[in-house]
Amino acid sequence: MPEEFFETLSNHATPPVYRFFNGKEWVESASGKTVEIHSPIDDSVVGALQVVTIVEIDAVMTSAKTGQAKWEATPLNQRVKIMHLAADWIRHFEEYLSTLLAKEIGKSMGEAKSEIVRTADLIDYYADEVQSMRGETLDSDNFPGYDKGRIGLIERVAWGTVLAIAPFNYPVNLTASKLAPALLMGNAVVFKPPTQGGISALHLAQAFLKAGVPEGALTCVTGTGSDIGDYLVSHPGIDCITFTGNSDTGEAIAKKAGMKTLVFECGGNNPALVLPDADMNLTAREIIKGAFSYAGQRCTAIKYVLGMPDTLASLQTVIMKQMPELVHMGDPRSPETKLVGPVVSIAAAEHIQSLIGETVKAGAKIITGGRRTNAFVEPTILSDVRPEMPAVREEVFGPVVSFITVKDIGEAVGIINASRFGLQASVFTQDEGAGIVVAKQLNVGTVQINGSPQRGPDHFPFLGVKRSGLGVQGVHYSLEEMSRLRPIVINKPR
């Protein structure tokens, strides 16, 4: 029963106040300060998170330090079993967790369910993959001037304590994508859930704890970034920070963190470049999906489309034909809703609307959409946009896509490479060879040929350049990032 499994998480008041996990038990903070979480669908209160105190954070750090040593000494096969069990629990509560997710962050039931299933699959994959991690030995005589007198034994060990900070848009999946590799590699994790999405994220943490993650190895501290963020990221008890969120926050964390290892997934602001020979039906479908799924609130969403005038004109016609079938804005829990529910909050919706307004003021035209009711922003297509306009210069975290006309491919490549962001880009063409030629000129993490940007499949490397990220994620790569090399050199002087 979910009620029993998740019982300790909150005090069951109306609205329920969710506890934090100090390494041993779910407890109430001495701060008495809470943040209410409102559903973006109807503004109803889902619950409240506590703002933990600095004293409580210090205690959590101590618990993590002690817990980490024991956890790292736990045989890997036992850590693997615990992860598989956590994945089983998540599958078991698929319906319950999806319903909570839909209510808390406004994701459609279909998208919420796929997040839950993907999370369980991801944890299982991590647990399988970690068993193939290998060390190596190196001989010294490969390097000029050295004889065989030294042997290097190179193994992978935990960083120590990892601070995991997850975003609102995938509070379950992007929490698991941080917790599982960090824990499997023997780290303790101090988990800071997002504020919106935090309730769902704490439920995910409970699956790890119930599966058997022992005392101190996992702790959960809640509160807004402005209350506890600086203290956490600069805390000397933290060895590594794994963060997903917007680029401004990423930059602020990097400045405050000091000499800690940083693994960041930040904003994308991803372009789609359409070559004249592209299959228009496929391109239109991928752009609609890429721009509007989860109301455009994915770091991998398509934010602008580049093409020559004739190409963009025909693309626009096909997109407008396909829109009624593929997109329907509404309550994300209704089966009629397709791709576009509310954005995360009314404040976010207002910001998106102001960026649309400023872009139109600067000379862009609205092809469709542009209006807003509470947290619901209509799926919006803008044309006649230039790269310096707000809708392209900023990452609009909502259902908005801008069309930019270029005179040739060279100009498009120049615009993409001049962007402050560099997560992914799409190139649409029926000539895969030509697509590869263009792909090699783009300074972004990943180029998708004939597909919209996306993180999955989750064992592929996922990385951003410039303001889009630090380090590489994706199952094997995340396991590597959540550990460091420890060379032990045996010297045999002759």
Contact residues: ligand G3H, CB under 6 A: 169-170, 265, 298-300, 454-456
Minimum gap (Å) between residue 477 Cβ and ligand G3H: 14
Q: How many CB atoms lie within 10 A of CB 214?
A: 15
- State the nearest-atom distance from the C-beta of 115 to ligand G3H, in Å: 9
**Known active-site residue 299:** yes
Catalytic residue among 56, 104, 115, 265: 265
**Residue 479 CA to chain centroid, in angstroms?**
16
Task: Closer to ligand G3H by CB, 160 or 453: give it.
Answer: 453
Q: Using CB atoms within 10 Å of the CB of residue 177, give its burial: 0 to 12 exposed, 13 to 18 middle, 19+ buried.
A: buried
Q: Which of 445, 64, 65, 481 is nearest to 261 (CA)?
A: 481
**Closer residue to ligand G3H in complex, CB, 124/265:** 265
Angle at 473 between CA 201 and CA 188, to 5 degrees: 55
Six-digit token string for 489 = 């050199």
- State which residue, 67 or 193, has the beta carbon closest to ligand G3H: 193
Question: Residue 26 or 170: which CB sits closer to ligand G3H?
Answer: 170
Minimal distance, residue 194 CB to ligand G3H, in Å: 12
484 within 8 A of 157, measured Cβ to Cβ: yes
Q: Which helix (H) or strand (E) holds 42?
A: none
Q: How far is the CB of 473 from ligand G3H (least distance, A)?
A: 8
Three-state SS string over 308-343 comes to CHHHHHHHHHHHHHHHHHHCECCCCCCCCCECCCCC
Structure tokens at 405: 């006309």
Spot the catalytic one: 266, 299, 395, 480: 299
Q: Rounded to the nearest whole angstrom, what is the least distance from the CB of residue 41 to ligand G3H in the complex? A: 20
Q: Is the peptide bond before 15 cis (omega within 30 degrees of 0)?
A: yes
d(CA 307, CA 318): 14
Determine whether 265 is an active site residue.
yes
**Is residue 488 packed enough to be buried (19+ CB in 10 Å), middle (13-18) or exposed (0-12)?**
exposed
Tokens of 435: 């697509």
Closest CA to 305 of 359, 361, 385: 385
Q: What residues are paired with 21 via a beta bridge?
A: 26, 220
Q: Which helix (H) or strand (E) holds 489?
A: strand 483-491
Asked if omega into 399 is within 30° of 0 (cis), the reply is: no
Q: Give me 155's structure tokens.
A: 């193994």
Strands (E), 324-481: 365-368, 372-373, 376-377, 380-383, 400-405, 421-422, 424-428, 446-449, 465-466, 469-470
CA-closest candidate to residue 367, choices 376, 352, 356: 356
Nearer to ligand G3H, 169 or 242 (CB): 169
Nearer to ligand G3H, 298 or 467 (CB): 298
Q: Which is nearer to ligand G3H, 29 or 119 (CB)?
A: 119
Cβ proximity to ligand G3H: between 169 and 187 the closer is 169
List the catalytic residues: 265, 299
